[in-house]
Amino acid sequence: MYDDILLPTDGSDGITQAAKHAEALAERFDATIHVLSVVDTRNRFESPTSGLSAEAWKEAERERAEHAVETTLAALSQSLPVETAVVDGVPKTAILDYVESEGMDMVVMGTHGRTGLDHYLIGSVAEKVVRRSPVPVVTVRLTGE
């Protein structure tokens, strides 16, 4: 039923909770987990760059994305088939593009549960993926534990 499960990660504290859900589903369905992190390529007027040059921002983003994949891999069982990818783009769009281009059957992703001004200013990648995904999406509240 589910052969390929996408686990997007931004390296947030608490990613272990989402990884454990993906792992349980992968074990149940004998599926491959695809760990994906996105290098946010939005320009510095669209992303919080703290005054960095565009090149420095992208380099820092790539390092963050690669570290996010490594951190998430460490939370997964070594006995499961896992593929990894780091792609450039706007996170919500890149995740949905990956779902379609790589034929994912399900997405398991963490959500911070932001509300109010934080939700308005930062937005919710998980919410946008849930609304637009052509496949089921399981969201897991990240608590930082």
Q: Model confidence over 55-67: pLDDT tens digits? A: 887 888 899 999 9
Q: In CATH, what number is assigned to the domain containing residue 19?
A: 3.40.50.620
What is the residue range of 62's domain?
4-141
Structure tokens belonging to residue 124 = 């919710």
What pLDDT is recorded for position 55?
Answer: 80
Structure tokens belonging to residue 111 = 């959500």
pLDDT bin (cut points 50, 70, 90) of residue 115 is very low
Per cent of the chain over pLDDT 90 is: 62
Q: Give pTM, 2 decimals.
A: 0.87
- Region 87-110: what's the mean pLDDT? 96
Domain count, the chain: 1
